[in-house]
Structure 1
Amino acid sequence: MKKKYPDVRLLVVIFFGPDFQIFGETIDEIMESYVETESEYAFRNLKKQTAQLLAMESDTELNNIMSELAENQFRPESWGETWRSFLQKVLQHLPE
């Protein structure tokens, strides 16, 4: 999965990982930092990978994949989100 979704993995492990405060305190703030830090190429890849994940109908499958990618560095429940709602918020913050 790490090879199939590298940009999603980078986002959850680095930007939302244990040191997330470097980038902000909320999903909105952290995504603003991501957009300021990463390239347009990274946005396109993240958008594509996130859309692929959200296209999965099974929440169980999505949760399993995302848990594997996050490597216990991030859990959306502690932010009041599910994996699906978290990914939807991520998509909303990416430039067109």
Structure 2
Amino acid sequence: MDNVKILDASMTYTKEEGYVGRIQFEMTGQPNQYEMTIHSRKRTEWGYGLFFLHESGDEDQLLAVEDMLEEDDELFDYLVNAAEEKLDPKFK
């Protein structure tokens, strides 16, 4: 993904919470950096939240990035995979 730069990513697993990930990233042409949090019980279907990383920005730009995540499965999977790579191997 040439238009996305991963700044940081992590994922944890507990029996109680399931899989919880965090991906910090920026996109070419976007003035803000973003953080996406993800959650799944079985790593098959992911719920997510998208937020500005450091400070609030233009809500229309945040919504535009959210639209990209909804429409572009490759982009969404790329971000999820970045977090999954940080998961402790014993939980994979």
Which structure shows the bigger proportion of residues in strand conformation?
A: 2
Which has the larger Rg? Answer: 2
Which structure shows the bigger proportion of residues in helix conformation?
A: 1
By the TM > 0.5 criterion, same fold?
Answer: no
**TM-score normalised by the chain length of structure 2:** 0.31
**TM-score normalised by the chain length of structure 1:** 0.30
Q: Looking at both structures, which has the greater relative contact order when contacts are Cα pairs under 8 Å and sequence separation is at least 6?
A: 1
